[in-house]
Structure 1
Amino acid sequence: MTTNSYLPINFTISLEAWAEIEAIREFYDKNRDDKASVLMISWGNTVLNDGNSWSHVVIGFYRTSERYKIRDGIQMISGHEVVFFITPDLYSKFDRKIIKFEREEGFFLAPN
């Protein structure tokens, strides 16, 4: 019996969010040789110098040169490679949710 070293994807991604993810990928890849390869989705906290803070969905990419580091954590969602970089205590935040994107709010989780 094999044991995965990652938590399985438990969410979906809206078409609007996919479009923004691809726009971010294109922006990242512009004028770079080491292209964005695998989408990374996580949860993060932003804390400003004035003490204001909030938690939110984080979208990023592993570069082509980094694939070897994350190859065992790559999963598929809607035909795309994704690393779901999350800890067990935050896993339920994503459960049966959909990642959406709106210009005013950025990426966020909503009931599916």
Structure 2
Amino acid sequence: MSLTIGMVAHDSKKPDLAAWAVQHAGLIARHTVVATATTGGVLKSSLPDLTIRLVKSGPLGGDQQVGAMIAQGELDVLLFFPDPLAAQPHDVDVKALLRLVLVYDIPAAFSPSTASALARSGLFDR
């Protein structure tokens, strides 16, 4: 069974998410990856063969699109690397996304170490 994995990162954390994705390319390549536009571009430059479905960039509604996918049961896992030290102009969208992760109880990781813990859990082996 294939998973749909959402991948989102704030600007300063995009390199961390890309590095994590390169390290775990074999795991995520078997699944459907959905990413916000700018994050997806960074991922694509690091993993040119990875198929990525792009939604809008976060500030333009991409976080809400990912949230809608969660609410509709279309997203199985979220890897979201936020920058906790920088103010985000679309902070309300970020909070709404996190709320949906909790409401619908989907597995989520917010840093490279928690994403790696999810990878070690066997979740991506489906």
- Which TM class, normalised by the smaller chain length? under 0.3
TM-score, length basis structure 1: 0.26
Whose strand fraction is larger, Structure 1's or Structure 2's? 1
TM-score, length basis structure 2: 0.25
Whose helix fraction is larger, Structure 1's or Structure 2's? 2
Larger Rg: 1
